[in-house]
Amino acid sequence: MEKEAYYILLYYCYAPIQDPEAYREEHHLFCIQNNIRGRIIISGEGLNGTVSGLKADCEKYMEYVQGDPRFADTEFKIDTHHSHAFSKINVRAKSEIVHSGLRHIDPKIRTGKHLEPREFKAMKDREDVVILDVRSNYEHKLGHFKNALRLDIENFREFPEKVKELEHLKGKKVLTYCTGGIKCEKASAFLLDQGFEDVYQLHGGIIKYGMEAGGEDFEGKCYVFDNRVAVEVNNVNPTVVSECHICGSRSDRMVNCANPTCNIHVPICEACGWEYEGACSVECKEDPEKRPYNGTGYYQKNINGYNPYKGFYQQPNKDRIKSALNVKSNS
């Protein structure tokens, strides 16, 4: 098998879905049949996902999504990888495709002006511009655009409250950005709703900026929500901005605390990793439940007993599930 035989797809699409639960089951079944793994959210306002699979399987998946007229304009950010980036498939129906609490905001009606990566690059250093990171603390601490305003939030749902602190920026051009673009759809729309007049968003987010504009002036790495954890973005003027949680030295080596009760995800340098046996503190190092440390700080979730068909609730789908099982057993 070739070295980079897999794709990792990052995407979202705002489009009305009348019966999210029924579509969730259909979508889930397609993923199982085509060996697609990852995390997908389905709601009445659209879909949002990061998935992985063999290149041919991902091509089928993209055709499946874009073949539905509702999602025909879905844009996929495609990266290559040597293996699956997920251990299983998880498709959920939720009230929003990204939790913001801004259910009254519809990006299909009004949102910030989309800037392609090269347009964003050309504007970001102007004196009348503010670059606004709308991601959470653990994300922008690992990496962010040079001179970006970074909000102190643990979750995106805190963003609306934080906007109250940005009143003094209403005379500026506000350029929002996030990992793949989805948070900016509602973030920029909400800024407009709150009286900001000149609002933009980086189309495709940090990931597309790295692919199409070389990642220039993105400092550090980009946090991603798959088994890779962090990815390189900048191949022009890269730097490390995150600090070891224990000693404070520069490090972008992300580690899950070896104490499963704690399990925080923070940068820990290699030296401290070995000294603290993968734990984030003395207390966690001494915890009797501490997991053995193998030098990576990554702990594969226990998927014993994992059943990809678990979660099919509706009775009419039994025949489809049996059919899918027969296909799988005969392949």
pLDDT value of residue 313? 52
Q: Mean pLDDT across the stretch 2-15?
A: 93
- State the pLDDT confidence band at 4, using cuts at 50, 70 and 90: confident
Q: Is the pLDDT of residue 59 over 90?
A: yes
Neighbours of 272 (CB within 10 A): 21
Higher-confidence position of 167 and 307: 167
If you search the block for the tokens 């998927």, which residue do you land on? 303
Q: Does CATH place domain 113-223 in 3.40.47.40?
A: no
- Given a cut of 50, whether residue 327 has pLDDT beyond it is no
* CATH architecture observed for domain 6-97: 2-Layer Sandwich (3.30)
Q: Are 53 and 86 in contact (CB under 8 A)?
A: no
Residues shown for the chain? 331
Q: Could you tell me the pLDDT band of residue 103, with boundaries at 50, 70 and 90?
A: confident
**Among residues 61, 9, 8, which one has the least CA distance to residue 31?**
61
Residue 136 contacts residue 156 (beta carbons within 8 Å): yes
Query: How would you write 277-306 as a 3-class SS string?
Result: CCCCCHHHHCCCCCCCCCCCCCCCCCCCCC
**What does the pLDDT read at residue 325?**
43
Task: Report CA-CA distances (Å) from 149 to 69, 177, 209, 292.
Answer: 38, 11, 18, 38
pTM of the model as a whole: 0.88
How far apart are the C-alpha atoms of 81 and 54, rounded to whole Å? 9
- What's the confidence (pLDDT) of residue 329? 41
Q: Where in the chain is the domain with CATH 3.30.70.100?
A: 6-97
- Region 179-204: mean pLDDT is 97
Banded model confidence at residue 95, pLDDT cuts 50, 70, 90: very high
Q: Which regions of the chain carry the CATH code 3.40.250.10? A: 113-223
What is the reported pLDDT for 86? 94
Percentage of the chain exceeding pLDDT 70 = 90
With contact defined as beta carbons under 8 Å apart, do 240 and 269 qualify?
Answer: no
Residues catalogued as catalytic: 178
- Closest by CA position to 91, among listed 155, 17, 159, 154: 17
- How many angstroms separate the first and last alpha carbons of the chain? 19
pLDDT value for 331 = 42
